[in-house]
Structure 1
Amino acid sequence: MNKVTPLLAAFLAAGAFATASDCVAAKKTKPLPVYKTSFDCASPRSTVENLICHDGQLAQMDLELNRLYLLALTDDHSVPKPAKVEIDQQFWIDARNQCGGGPQARGCVIGSYAERADQLRQGSAIARTKDPSRLSEGPVAFRCAGMSTPVSATYFTVQPGVVFLKWAKSSATLMQVPSDSGHLYTGKDYRGSYRFWQDGNDATLQVPASGQMVCTAEPVS
């Protein structure tokens, strides 16, 4: 019967360690996927652009936002006018890029896209056209018991979904989470936690320092 000598055992252990190390190294050096965006991912101009290039959800939001922007530029009746839309877009890009690359960057970028999509869709009827390829909807106005003003909801139908809610002088960006029925979105900021559940024209909304409110979508004119 062959015996494993101490020297052979050392060689075997070293080989096993090297193999494991090689696997770890291979995993570490595996390139991140690159997604299609409205800008050139071969030469991203900021940390935020680099983040978007390697994140499927953010890349989808970027392409949809660019689609809305180009449509708004063709709308002579947009509010503001196309020339101002173009100026605002550059200011928006500069502000989006301020999200940086820290642990909060991704949430910051999602919020930035959600708010800008709401502005473009709110201001341009052409941007709200029912393009089959669209990845955004709204804004939809909800009347909620206990609120004197409507709650506006603009959606990104990406994976996972995103909703931008705006009421009075407040707003919140929420992410879709699994739900047994309807569509459920949750989120949190410095004020506290939010919960928005919708099933057709019926919805419930919970904001910080408030109980759950029953909401109904207003008819679209």
Structure 2
Amino acid sequence: MKMVTPFLASLLAVSACMTASVCDAATKAKAKPKPLPTYKTSFDCASPQASAEKLICHDAQLAQMDLELNRLYLLALSDEHSVPHPDKVEIDQQFWIDTRNQCDSGPQAKPCVIRSYAERAHQLRQGSAIARTKDPSRRTEGPVAFHCAGLSPLVAATYFTVEPGVVFLKWANTSITLNQVPNNYGTQYTGKDYKGNYSFWQIGDDVFLQIPGSGKMNCAAEPVG
């Protein structure tokens, strides 16, 4: 039986130590998360000033919404007939930015930012004919007015054609932002608030709305003009 000499034992120990160190370093390198991609936005992502801005810089959907919102804002500023007037649009925009930036960094941060962009886009498109122009690069549509059976007020819908899509619905004193979900039979948006669940979907020319406490309602788009 061969004996392991002290010299050989020390060499084996060093080899084992080196192998363990290499393996440990490789494991750490493998576990190190990749940096998040940074997307183009209307503000400088090199020095974001709020948690909401950091989130937008690294989220493709939110970055698209940000660029589209800025496009609508610049168009509304150029519209002398906008409601409100361009000087008030500028004031409202700064107030909106401050409000958007109040969305914190928790799990509800992204839904909060999406709601903020959806509502502001609705306001700008509703108030300015120039903002509603058919620009081929646009990522918003509407507002489109729907009459839904069983619901007295008209429902205004403004769409964000980003990925995934978003729709902002407003009627009377109620508004809700819904997110697009997979549907093999049409385009469907869902969401919820403290009242319950909402669903809005289109199958061909048929449009339906379901709100808390109500069954599925058939909706018809009101003629434009």
TM-score, structure 2 as length reference: 0.90
Structure 2 counterpart of 1:81: 85
Amino acid at match of 1:194: Y
Q: Supply the distance in 1 between the matched residues of 2:177 and 2:183 (Cα, whole angstroms).
A: 18
Please name the residue that 2:26 is paired with: 19
Letter in 2 for 1:19: A
| Greater Cα shift, 203-212 or 103-112 | 203-212
Partner Cα separation in structure 2 for residue 161 and residue 112 of structure 1? 15
Identify the match of residue 179 of structure 2 among 175, 178, 202: 175
Supply the distance in 2 between the matched residues of 1:19 and 1:100 (Cα, whole angstroms).
35
Q: Decide which structure has the larger Cα Rg and report it.
A: 2
In structure 1, what is the Cα distance between the partners aligned to 2:145 and 2:82? 20
How is 1:17-96 mapped onto 2 (pairs within 5 angstroms)? 17-25=24-32, 28=33, 30-96=34-100
CA distance in 1, matches of 2:156, 2:77: 23
Q: How far 1:71 moved relative to its partner?
A: 0.2
Match of 1:165 among 150, 163, 169: 169
Query: What is the CA-CA distance between 1:193 and the residue it aligns to?
Result: 0.9
Partner of 2:200: 196
Structure 2 unaligned runs (5+)?
Answer: 1-8
Question: How many angstroms does 1:101 deviate by?
Answer: 1.2
Report how many aligned residue pairs link the two structures: 214
Consecutive aligned runs of 4 or more in structure 1 exceeding 4 Å deviation: 5-15
Partner residue of 2:137? 133
CA shift at 1:199, angstroms? 3.2
Q: CA 1:58–1:216 in 2, change beyond 3 Å: closer, same or farther?
A: same
* Identity between Structure 1 and Structure 2 (%): 69
Q: Return the alpha-carbon distance in structure 2 between the equivalents of residues 113 and 22 of structure 1.
A: 38
Note the C-alpha offset of 1:201.
Answer: 4.1
Higher deviation after alignment, 15-24 or 183-192: 15-24
The CA distance in 1 between the partners of 2:69 and 2:130, in whole Å, is 14
Using the TM superposition, name which of 9-18 and 143-152 deviates more: 9-18
User: Is residue 221 of structure 2 the alignment partner of residue 214 of structure 1?
Assistant: no
Three-state SS of the structure 2 residue aligned to 1:143 is strand
Cα deviation code 1:45-78 (max 9, x no counterpart): 1111111111110000000000000000111111
**1:196–1:206: 8 Å Cα contact kept in structure 2?**
yes
> Normalized against structure 1, the TM-score is what?
0.91
